[in-house]
Structure 1
Amino acid sequence: PKLTHIKYYFRLFKNSISYSIKSYLKNNEIFNNKKKSLVFVCNFQWLFNVEIRYRFLKLLGVDLDKCILIIDECHNIVELSCEVNSNKLNLNLLNSCQVEMYANGFPEIYSVFVTYLKNHLEYQKNKLKFGDTEINAKEVIKNICSKLKLRSITELRNFLKNLKKEYRRRIESDGGSGPQTIDTLVKFWMDWVKKYNSDKYYFCYNLSKGINRNYISLEIVALDPRDVTLSLFLNSYMSLNLSGTVNAKVFTFLTGLNCRKGNFLSLNAKSPFKKKNILALITEGVDTRKTNRISSMYKKVIRRVKEVVENTPANVGIFCTSYKVMTGLRENGIEPMLEKTGKKVFVEKQNNSASENDKMLERFKRVSRVPSKGGVLMGVSGGR
């Protein structure tokens, strides 16, 4: 049965965010077919990464067309879909491939291929400016074919397939285990050959600065999230996307959510928060760019945080751009400062399990009540 009335959407929305989701789905008329219905909660990657999705669904023994996808914080899937559909090749991978080929006695032509790529990136590393530099993807293929004496893209594709077969054969003869470096190399160039003529991808070098050296990579950057999202939306039974921040029209255009004509509904719900209870302020003079992640900047951030915490009667959340930034704040004295305010400090740790985080959040909520002075939660934005 189809959800043709708006009340069903509200009921599904209400119950999907409650602890009783399992019993709701069991008793809802959508699933009233005397078959057992299951609810799976998973990371975005398990479905948006095509390779993981295939293995995940196979492990569960379910087909995507039998699944209702409930995607919370759906604004995150636009960037994620481009990330999982992008690819990069760096010198570390090429070095590992060289070692593996030498150790396993691969035919010389494959070593020539890897050495050429390695020398090319080393040359570009000393020539390019920091950041990304666009590259002619077709020209790269021509140069590789010329070096390997291949006459066409078809021959290059066959060369890559033969490299993969050679790798598989040698791995199987060694007991079926080994590093995946050559598999990764082949996948990258198969992607390049497949996508080089598409305007949905940006091909570039990327040069970045490390502490002691510079790093270079050759990249395939996906620009269109629909290459990933459409297959999910078209092949699932239904998809319910929830977000408190995204513009519905922009989201549907970017992801293709409205691809099923006549089977799409957009709801703009009123905010549960009163405008008079919201105060949005921006403080100037602080940032977390990598070049500015130094002690003086962290201490400046801490002074600004102190003003907010001291002037907020109950709980406060501090969300950092990464765990590294949070570590930088902790190393520069944010916790002693917070403790002096009389508020209890809670810190999200990278290796915490979901249940540990849930318990910590419950404790954080409890201290918001009188007579407690409240608490301060330090976490990572975009994290758990």
Structure 2
Amino acid sequence: MCLNETLLTLKLNPKESMSVCKDLRQNRNCRYFSNLLKKKGELDSAISLDPELFNKPIDAEELISFCRDKSFCPYFLSKFLLKDVKVIICNYQWIFNPDIKNVFLQLIDQELNDCILILDECHNVIDIATEVNSDRLTPYLLRLCLKDLEMYRAPNIMQEFTSLILDLLNDKKLNSNLGEEELDPTKYLKYIIEKLNFRDLNEFKNLIQDIQEFSVAIHEEKLANGQISRDYLGSLSDFWTKWLKTFNLDNYFYCFNNIERKGRKSISVEIVALDPREIVIPILKSVYTSLSLSGTVNPYIYNNLMGLNESGKSYRGIITDSPFQKKNIKVVITEGVDTKRENRTPFMFKKMIGKINEVLSCTPANVGIFCASYQILRGLFTNGISNIAKSNNKKLLMEEPGLSSSQNNAMIEEFKALASNGGAVLLGVCGGRNSEGEDYPGDYMNSVVIAGFPYHLPSPRVEAKIKYYDKVFKKQGWNFAYLYPAIQRANQASGRPIRKITDKGAIIFMDSRFKTKYKWISEWLREELEIIPDKPQALIQNLGKFWS
């Protein structure tokens, strides 16, 4: 929600964006904010800017359009409006990100204990709460830190420390395989202290404190000179401050993460929070009351991972009846398909494509195919799924890693437009923006295929979470950290065609492993579940009647 050209050209995280925004405003270098402030000073409330528009609910697009016409800042106009409203719809970050939450509460002039918190699509909060409580360092950030340290003539020890971490990361990138490598935070810290010739941990703590103070001094000097200040050194000191606070705790995991994007390797050292309750429980304790809503969440696991019974408030779980008519929902599990890694052969992919062909031949308009992973997506593509789509007079549109938001939006718009012209096939992945963040009512998606069981690839991070959850949740680590996230991705993808009461949709779970885990499938789907035998034409016979 920013129109400032300078800020838009910078690729910043939320914390950095807020810092640069503050600098631009303090130096009067943001005309959008200055215009808004001047106009607001002439009025009793922000609503008076356009009473007809602001005395009713409006979405972000309307607000941004209004502000673009008036050269106002949409971000701060939305904040000024907050004091005059009773219901606020916002991103999870506004409540669960500590840096953003405190600013947000100041703007609305409220305390959390005066707020009723409604968490829609609440299953997402678990990941959000761990993400905002995690941190990472990259060579890119360290190089920018070195630049500031050199430019402002920092003490040699600060430059030596930053160069040491940068060299360690670069060496790890060159000499490690792709993926995560767990590291011992105590040994790593001890190694750094020895390399810096420090006597003990206190000397290292003092260094981090000095870097923090130096970053504040640089920030103030840049501000005084009318410059934009990006607080790289503050991010560096924040990372190591968190390390020092958490390295003896078992609810954090530490690793190098070596990945490849667009043919280039990149590495980071990461502090990974494992327990969402650390962020969630203080918020649930503070709010007046909270209501969590989801069509797919498992109440038992959600209660445990969110710490609802530890929030100091009474907890009640309610499972409501499905509002959808049974005659409009077809849910099947296909036998004969197993996408375990050792089974991902051309034979298995061609077998899946044969069954997908039966689904396409029965479905009047659009079909979504959400794969357990990009590996399965590529397997279907290389084994001829495009030919099957073409033979059914449906265009294949394929999700790819690295697609920009605008490119993806254009693809989804084309997919929906083709619904009225024989239909199309959307090939994507579970857990992605198209399988969770997009709705396809009516003919925009008649049938959806969940191709494979969407387990995450085993990794040190996942293993650490399983081990930790085993400890705190009575040996239920595998269910909580591995099975539940997988079935949650499948449940989310399976609900894409059924968005309105009048919608009619077929959901096909194409992996026999769903049979043994059927109790984890959302109840509104489980009630309609059928098992389709591994026989030619079996899907056609079943789905044909449904769509006839």
For residue 182 of structure 1, the aligned residue among 230, 233, 237 is: 233
C-alpha displacement at 1:209, in angstroms? 3.4
Match of 1:131 among 179, 191, 201: 179
Residue in 2 that maps onto 1:72 = 120
* CA distance in 2: counterparts of 1:211 and 1:362, whole angstroms: 29
Distance 1:183 1:199, change over 3 A: same
Does the 8 A contact of 2:215 with 2:231 survive in 1? no
Distance apart, 1:43 and its partner CA:
1.8
In structure 1, stretches of 5+ residues that fail to align are 1-20, 23-34, 293-297
Shift of 1:58: 2.2
TM-score by length of 1: 0.71
Q: Distance in 1 between matches of 2:109 and 2:334?
A: 49
Check if 1:155 corresponds to 2:240.
Answer: no
Q: Find the residue that maps to 1:381 and give its secondary structure.
A: helix
Cα pair 1:286 1:301 within 8 Å, conserved? no
SS of alignment partner, residue 145 of structure 1: helix
Looking at structure 2, the residues matched to 236 and 358 of structure 1 have their Cα atoms a distance apart, in angstroms, of 38
Q: Are 1:202 and 2:256 an aligned pair?
A: no
Give the distance between the partners of 2:372 and 2:101, measured in 1 at CA: 28
Distance in 2, Cα, partners of 1:66 & 1:120: 48
Structure 2 CA distance for partners of 1:47 and 1:284, relative to 1, 3 Å: farther
Deviations 1:173-216, CA, capped at 9 Å, x for gaps: 22363223212111111110010000000112222234544322
Aligned to 1:16: none
Q: 1:203-222 to 2 correspondence within 5 Å?
A: 203-222=254-273
Q: How does 1:37-48 map to 2 (within 5 A)?
A: 38-48=86-96
Percent of pairs with identical residues: 34
Q: 135, 141, 150: which one pairs with 1:87?
A: 135
Q: Distance in 1 between matches of 2:178 and 2:397?
A: 38
Residue deviations 1:20-74, cap 9 Å, x none? x98xxxxxxxxxxxx9752111222222222122222222332222221111221
Quick one: distance in 2 between partners of 1:90 and 1:107? 22
**1:320·1:381 contact (CA, 8 Å) conserved in 2?**
no
* Worse overlay, 196-205 or 302-311: 302-311
The alpha-carbon distance between structure 1 residues 75 and 40, as it changes in their structure 2 partners (threshold 3 A), is same
Q: 2:157 is aligned with what amino acid?
A: I
Cα 1:83–1:57 change in 2 (3 A) is same
Paired residues for 1:333-348 under 5 Å: none
CA distance in 1 between counterparts of 2:288 and 2:313 reads 15
TM-score scaled to structure 2, two decimals?
0.51
User: RCO greater where, 1 or 2, for CA within 8 Å and sep 6 or more?
Assistant: 1
Alignment of 1:1-384 (within 5 A): 38-174=86-222, 175=226, 177-260=228-311, 263-273=314-324, 274=326, 277-281=330-334, 284=337, 307-317=358-368, 351=405, 380-384=434-438
Gaps of 5+ in 2: 1-55, 58-82, 429-433, 439-548
Provide the rounded CA distance (Å) in 2 between the counterparts of 1:142 and 1:121.
16
Q: Confirm or deny: 8 A CA contact 1:322 1:381 kept in the other structure.
A: no
Residue 27 of structure 2 corresponds to: none
Structure 1: distance between partners of 2:202 and 2:335: 55
Does the C-alpha gap of structure 1 residues 93 and 281 become closer, same or farther in structure 2, counting only changes over 3 Å? farther
Displacement after TM superposition at 1:241 (Å): 0.7
| 157-166 or 298-307: bigger deviation | 298-307
- Cα distance in structure 2, aligned partners of 1:196 and 1:208: 24
Structure 1 residues 262 and 226: alpha-carbon distance in aligned structure 2, compared to 1, 3 A threshold: closer
For residue 278 of structure 1, give the secondary structure of its aligned residue in structure 2: strand
Q: Structure 2 counterpart of 1:207, which letter?
A: N
What is the letter of the counterpart of residue 158 of structure 1?
N
Q: Shift in Å at residue 226 of structure 1?
A: 0.5
* Alpha-carbon offset, residue 334 of structure 1: 9.2
Residues 89-147 of structure 1: per-residue CA shift (max 9 Å, x gap)? 12121122122222222221111011111122223334433322221211222222233
Deviation at 1:242, TM superposition (A): 1.1
Equivalent position SS for 2:229? coil
**Are residues 259 and 285 of structure 1, via their aligned partners in 2, closer, same or farther at CA, if it must alter by over 3 Å?**
closer
Contact 2:337/2:352 (8 A) holds in 1: no
Q: Relative to structure 1, is the Cα distance of residues 338 and 112 closer, same or farther in structure 2, using a 3 angstrom cutoff?
A: same
SS at match of 2:210: helix
Cα displacement (A) at 1:256 = 0.4
1:151 match: secondary structure:
coil
Task: Find the aligned partners of 1:307 and 1:339 in 2 and give their Cα distance.
Answer: 13
Whether the 8 Å CA contact 2:135–2:239 is kept in 1: the answer is yes
* 2:123 and 2:302 in contact (8 A); partners too: yes
